[in-house]
Structure 1
């Protein structure tokens, strides 16, 4: 066998099905051999991984890198550096930047910003009332997928009307493109927040009171109804409530192509933490009562929830610590802390390492059309690898985050299990726990390797694109040219008599 660029020897390779002792050889950014150490080719470089685990790099389908528009909160360089140091090798970035990613011009600005990325990336374009006619051209220009803000969040982008959402799904269903949906009912939330502010409530729990679980239940149900009718693929972002899981379970049983993510904050935090941390924990959907935590774990285990994402949403400390909860910006950094938090729960036997690989890599790779190239350690796949030490103990520190946002609800939390090396297409972007600064700009768009499965559009004869045209054999006017047959029937007044 010809020489490799790198051989990682002595590690344990993790997939959703098994953990095996094997070495990995890498050449030209891809895995070229997996097997017994003695069978590996010679290589320019070797890495010993004895006692360590080799995981497919995490794929985070929900990050906000704030660039363009809000570089004081985050940039592509700092956000992707955080991803690299968190064992995340691919991110999908959200469109609520400034300008929003709903035009070719805005997309070009984002693509330019992404040239500094340490990790590979997809870009979610904006699905809104005024972008419906541009969806195809955004796809052609490099967008991988779309996001619909059915619930309002940072940036205050208007929620698409139901008519626009339906038409957007009609356009995307035949293409097989998946749309991320922030599923909360904006009307409910706006009215309740107004009422709470009028009543003078500015406490942390007022935010939760303004966004009850019913807002999530209703919005998910509405979105799934439109997706099922059209055959569109949808993805429910940051699922937070136990109460809405029944809607998802029923839809999946009916065969609706819906994938679902939740985040560490909804699994591990609750209103007890909100009372302790205040505005630091303000995010959308809100942190909920403790009774929601375990059902979300159960939903991950039974497949109702498919994957882990972070909703990495950085802001400055000043923007997170204002007196009124309504004045605190929503979200906090998460892409760097997700893996240690989840590995800690694996060490606590709440799930297996194989479960974690399914949630963090395999499932998102399948949802976004990347599986086989990414999301798995196999010959021919990209060498996107997180080398993990399951025994490494640390205390998370917001001051040491790569993100510009040096404020985190995880600050001071003890973790066990962490990525110590991260490779993106065979190149170290984090090594021995340290960012490899020369790797800035190594990341590239996944658009070129994205292969969505065959689409399954439904009810196409009712799509607006179909009914805009008059069917063959049907007169183009609803009124017959000869009206004499209707005279005197009550449908038409009698014809006027000619004057004598």
Structure 2
């Protein structure tokens, strides 16, 4: 029995009707309205077939999309609250049309045990505006993996560029055992694929030569460091039954290594970020350390390779890698001390909608890579699409609205961006989380704690 039948006997009206909309469905865009009740989509239908509602909003022909599920977000808080906290980070998400963020574990303290995860969840549930799920780093004792998943982690994050968490990342036997444990729990492992040995060897040479320039930084992070790390993980995937998700693939070399194993049918997925899709070495010269990220911006040839794969349907997801820092941390005089990362939650959707308007990106592909596929990776059966019975996580976009990106108006604490001043076309104007309006025309209209903690197997705390 579907939800419409279950609720048919309840006393009308429903909680909310969104009328005069263009609703994105798996069949394409339909001119219709949505009825929302008890946090879920009750009905999608023509106006005359919608039930009466306690509240009705006229969307004036705007497009309704599934809320974005951003698989790669650093919400900070705790001892990094000076960079970002759960309220400001999820406010930024709401402003960008993101209704579920998946938080990374490289926090202070590192999220790497059921205790540290529980503490982080407890702090978050009082502050979040949108829904939040959590990665954990691997613990030192692999026997703790089941308890971390039972506590609610939706996956594990493995950094190959530096040690974060309890594993010796240079020991393949240890990694294989960790992968097998994660595979037994059926949770994905997300990997930052840059080879630590390559990075450290070149970095030491640069420091000995007293290099402190952007080209030195780029030389420390060559494409073959990404390629080698991906190839190493692929060997472990072949020996285990784990599902691996490669984060922020940035180079043609890394992409080709990934696609080679994808074609063999192994359970691997990947993401690309907007900054690797839209920026290259040339922007580093102009934006300097503001645009410094790990892995770094690449050549125009690499950018072209990513777009080519994306338009051919070979890229699984797009994620922001929202990584906020203070402006002082971004402008350190030593290039080796500059903190890598940029805020991306508020720019991702406008940048992608601009490509839809220009005909470079199909709207169906945008939805697939930012909502449908992330929901599939995390087994979130009632999120990621606008179907009757699904949770009412959605974003209303004015696809024709032109505006300039202005980082000074970000809701994130990080008020800088390499996209500052970019002209974009398409803007999220309302965001609904679990059926509740949380963002209206760039303003947060919900209280902290409105979002829910999403845990493995789609349970909520």
Please report the TM-score for the alignment, with normalisation by the length of structure 1.
0.87
Q: In the superposition, relative to structure 1, how do residues 261 and 320 fare at CA in structure 2: closer, same or farther (>3 Å)?
A: same
- List per-residue Cα deviations over 1:171-217 (Å, max 9, x = no partner): 11122110100011011001111111211221122221101010111
Deviation at 1:336? 1.4
SS of equivalent to 1:439: coil
The CA distance in 1 between the partners of 2:448 and 2:156, in whole Å, is 26
The CA distance in 2 between the partners of 1:391 and 1:266, in whole Å, is 25
Q: In the superposition, relative to structure 1, how do residues 306 and 414 fare at CA in structure 2: closer, same or farther (>3 Å)?
A: same
Per mean C-alpha deviation after superposition, the further-off stretch among 152-161 and 327-336 is 152-161
The CA distance in 1 between the partners of 2:458 and 2:230, in whole Å, is 26
Q: In the superposition, relative to structure 1, how do residues 286 and 147 fare at CA in structure 2: closer, same or farther (>3 Å)?
A: same
Q: In the superposition, relative to structure 1, how do residues 448 and 286 fare at CA in structure 2: closer, same or farther (>3 Å)?
A: closer
The answer as to whether partners of 1:172 and 1:178 remain within 8 angstroms in 2 is yes
Kindly indicate whether residue 443 of structure 2 is the aligned counterpart of residue 434 of structure 1: yes
158, 174, 185: which is aligned to 1:164? Answer: 174
Deviation at 1:319? 0.5
Q: How many residue pairs end up in the alignment?
A: 448
The answer as to whether partners of 2:67 and 2:371 remain within 8 angstroms in 1 is yes
Instruction: Map 1:102-181 onto structure 2 (within 5 A).
Output: 102-115=112-125, 116-127=127-138, 130-152=140-162, 159=169, 161-181=171-191
Kindly indicate whether residue 278 of structure 2 is the aligned counterpart of residue 268 of structure 1: yes
Deviation at 1:8? 0.7
The CA distance in 2 between the partners of 1:6 and 1:215, in whole Å, is 51
The CA distance in 2 between the partners of 1:448 and 1:430, in whole Å, is 26
Kindly indicate whether residue 243 of structure 2 is the aligned counterpart of residue 243 of structure 1: no
Q: In the superposition, relative to structure 1, how do residues 263 and 208 fare at CA in structure 2: closer, same or farther (>3 Å)?
A: same
Q: In the superposition, relative to structure 1, how do residues 166 and 155 fare at CA in structure 2: closer, same or farther (>3 Å)?
A: closer
Deviation at 1:366? 0.6
The answer as to whether partners of 2:69 and 2:98 remain within 8 angstroms in 1 is yes
The CA distance in 2 between the partners of 1:347 and 1:153, in whole Å, is 42
SS of equivalent to 1:327: coil
SS of equivalent to 2:218: helix
The CA distance in 2 between the partners of 1:155 and 1:141, in whole Å, is 17
What is residue 99 of structure 1 aligned with on the other side?
A: 109
418, 427, 432: which is aligned to 1:423? Answer: 432
383, 390, 414: which is aligned to 1:381? Answer: 390
What is residue 346 of structure 2 aligned with on the other side?
A: 336
- List per-residue Cα deviations over 1:236-275 (Å, max 9, x = no partner): 0011011222222221221111111000000000000001
- List per-residue Cα deviations over 1:102-127 (Å, max 9, x = no partner): 12221122112211111111100112
Deviation at 1:424? 0.4
The CA distance in 2 between the partners of 1:47 and 1:228, in whole Å, is 51
Deviation at 1:153? 8.4
The CA distance in 2 between the partners of 1:90 and 1:76, in whole Å, is 13
316, 321, 327: which is aligned to 1:306? Answer: 316
The CA distance in 1 between the partners of 2:204 and 2:75, in whole Å, is 29
Instruction: Map 1:192-231 onto structure 2 (within 5 A).
Output: 192-231=202-241
Deviation at 1:407? 1.5
Q: In the superposition, relative to structure 1, how do residues 57 and 240 fare at CA in structure 2: closer, same or farther (>3 Å)?
A: same
The answer as to whether partners of 1:248 and 1:304 remain within 8 angstroms in 2 is no
Deviation at 1:449? 5.0
Please report the TM-score for the alignment, with normalisation by the length of structure 2.
0.94
What is residue 455 of structure 2 aligned with on the other side?
A: 447
List runs of 5+ in structure 2 lacking aligned partners.
Answer: 1-7
337, 356, 359: which is aligned to 1:346? Answer: 356
Instruction: Map 1:360-371 onto structure 2 (within 5 A).
Output: 360-370=370-380
The CA distance in 1 between the partners of 2:82 and 2:164, in whole Å, is 15
What is residue 496 of structure 1 aligned with on the other side?
A: none
SS of equivalent to 2:80: coil
The answer as to whether partners of 1:65 and 1:75 remain within 8 angstroms in 2 is yes
Deviation at 1:375? 0.4
The answer as to whether partners of 1:245 and 1:304 remain within 8 angstroms in 2 is no
The CA distance in 2 between the partners of 1:311 and 1:82, in whole Å, is 13
What is residue 458 of structure 1 aligned with on the other side?
A: none
Structure 1 or 2, whichever has the larger Rg, is 1
Kindly indicate whether residue 76 of structure 2 is the aligned counterpart of residue 66 of structure 1: yes
Deviation at 1:157? 9.2
